[in-house]
Structure 1
């Protein structure tokens, strides 16, 4: 059963994110997905291999609710709150994406030319996943947090390192989109 609803407008979702961040700041907590991965690895016993994973994970177990919420929210959003409308993109953007070899631009949330099992299990797809995963993991560790942690939690608590990290994320995204991605495709 698919209820064809539109995404929540900014004036609903924005204040909800603000409320969550205000509560986290009030209770002295921070938000970020990479810290959840570290907690899950510690629970699985990674502390036996690396000192990075030796910490009291029970203090951060509350944050695992974020993982459960992201999974449930993604499922509910894609199965019950999505509509089948095509994303309205700028014609110039559509043309540039077509030149990279993509079809049906805006018809799906993500392009099927990249996100399908046939592509994933190709040599090129596996290399992209391995190199991309390494770069994301390295960057997250090097920046001491992920994009969600720095952009949402770090900026809302006025942390200068988070501002520098977010600027770096945007610059990296612009470089990737405009220079590296065209070389790959």
Structure 2
């Protein structure tokens, strides 16, 4: 039986994230998806090719619970906590997206024009994935962490480099949304 619910509101999910962060801080641990990927690469032997992956990955294996939890949580969210209500977009945003050839903006959580298999498998989609992946990988390495690590762990522990990184993430997102995305579509 499939249960259809709206996404959890901020006042439920926000305190749950805060609780997890308080527990991590209490136990002296940090959180971030790039840390999980770094640990996976080290486990796979990437330390033979790069000094970045030469560390005691067994000390970080606990962090992989975050990766497993994200996969299980994503599965539960898609299959049991989602509905087809779409996204309530500002009418001006809908018009702007329609001028960029998005057929039904807001009808689905993610637009088929970007996230369908056909869009991703197209030459344009593959080029965007490759360039985007390289930029995200470079940015994560350059910023010494990912958006989740800096925005959740770094800000909750009052780290100035994380504040600077998060400001940079938002500026980059605004530039992408307002200047680059319209050129791509």
The reply to whether TM is greater than 0.5 is yes
Deviation at 1:86, TM superposition (A): 2.5
1:179 aligns with: 179
Is the 8 Å Cα contact of residues 114 and 120 (structure 1) preserved in structure 2? yes
Q: Which structure 2 residues correspond to residues 47-58 of structure 1 after superposition, within 5 A? A: 47-58=47-58
In structure 1, what is the Cα distance between the partners aligned to 2:105 and 2:3?
23
The yes-or-no answer on 1:91 pairing with 2:91 is yes
In structure 1, what is the Cα distance between the partners aligned to 2:25 and 2:49?
33
1:65 aligns with: 65
Which 4+ residue blocks in structure 1 deviate beyond 2 angstroms? Answer: none
**TM-score (structure 2 length as normaliser):** 0.98
The yes-or-no answer on 1:165 pairing with 2:165 is yes
Q: Deviations over 1:76-118 (max 9, x none)?
A: 1001110111221110010011111101111211110111121
In structure 1, what is the Cα distance between the partners aligned to 2:121 and 2:89?
30
In structure 2, what is the Cα distance between the partners aligned to 1:126 and 1:4?
33
- Runs of 5+ in structure 1 lacking a partner? none
Deviation at 1:2, TM superposition (A): 2.1
In structure 1, what is the Cα distance between the partners aligned to 2:164 and 2:79?
37
Q: Which structure 2 residues correspond to residues 20-169 of structure 1 after superposition, within 5 A? A: 20-169=20-169
In structure 1, what is the Cα distance between the partners aligned to 2:176 and 2:83?
30
1:2 aligns with: 2
More displaced 10-residue stretch of structure 1: 113-122 or 51-60: 113-122
- Runs of 5+ in structure 2 lacking a partner? none
What is the total number of aligned residue pairs between the two structures?
A: 185
**TM-score (structure 1 length as normaliser):** 0.98
In structure 1, what is the Cα distance between the partners aligned to 2:131 and 2:102?
22
